[in-house]
Chains A and B, each alone.
Chain A
Amino acid sequence: MSDVKKFLYVNRKAPYGTIYALESLEVVLIGAAFEQDVALAFLDDGVFQLTKGQNTDGIGVKNFSPTFRALGDYDVQKLYVERESLEERGLSEDDLIEVVYEDEDDDWEEKPAIKVVSRAEMADVMADADVVLSF
């Protein structure tokens, strides 16, 4: 079957208090390996997953935030982050890690994968998905 579906992974939880965020990332990598159209959404506390400078040395768990930067290598090109969720938490795009992908249609130029969108645009992204997986 060659049907490519649009998979949207919705992330609404902060990274280390529960296992949701790490599990989401694992499933995203699996989905991407099956060459589906994969996008990620970060809203509510999910935006905390993408903050710069995470250091988990003192809590004895893996810091998986650098793994997001590898998503580009799996051809994951769309990380939607909700602006209202950032603002409610005193964050801006500058506080987030950088994730890039190489655009094969544009001479493999590196482009940012993180797209900050409004709440209304996020609702459109969700309504456009074929399959929504929530974490």
Chain B
Amino acid sequence: MSTLHTVNKSPFATQALVSCLNHAKAGDAILMIEDGVYGGLSGTGLTEIIEEFGKNVSLYVLSPDLDARGLDAKRLIGGIEGVDYAGFVDLVAKHDRTQAWL
């Protein structure tokens, strides 16, 4: 049993991503969408904590949201995978439940 978590807010504006990381279980997946994709960037004040949690959960970003913000996938924290909308659907189908962190 595992959960797909989605986060759609910048971690520099709200607690959503940090709270999500604090409640995710090993084997869960976290997909950063909309302004949530800023949480995937390397070299930020949150990179270290995200890398630490990333050891137990799979991290994804929605590539169209990354592209829209002019962010190159090369700037992502290592191990974060970009997915398109079809990949988003696959993630939803693969997990037992989806939990949105708004």
Contact = CB atoms under 8 A, between A and B. Distances in A.
B23 A134 contact: no
Contact of B19 (A20, A43, A130): A43
Given A123-B25, A127-B25, A134 B100 contact: yes
Contact of B98 (A122, A132, A135): A132
Interface residues of B, number: 15
Interface residues of A: mostly helix, strand, loop or mixed? mixed
Nearest to A10: B99
Nearest to A119: B22
Given A123-B25, A131-B97, A134-B100, A12 B19 contact: yes
A119 B99 contact: no
Contacts, number: 38
B23 A122 contact: yes
Contacts of A127: 1, 3, 25
A44 interface: yes
B101 A123 contact: no
Given A12-B19, A123-B23, A20 B102 contact: yes
A10 B24 CA distance: 14
A129 interface: yes
B56 interface: no
A130 B97 contact: yes
A123 B24 contact: yes
Interface string A1-31: 0000000001011000000100000000000
Contacts of B1: 127
Given A12-B101, A126-B99, A129-B97, 16 more contacts: A10-B99, A12-B15, A12-B102, A20-B102, A43-B19, A44-B15, A44-B19, A119-B22, A123-B25, A126-B3, A127-B25, A130-B97, A132-B3, A132-B98, A134-B100, A134-B101
9 contacts: A12-B16, A12-B101, A12-B102, A123-B23, A123-B24, A123-B25, A127-B1, A132-B3, A134-B101
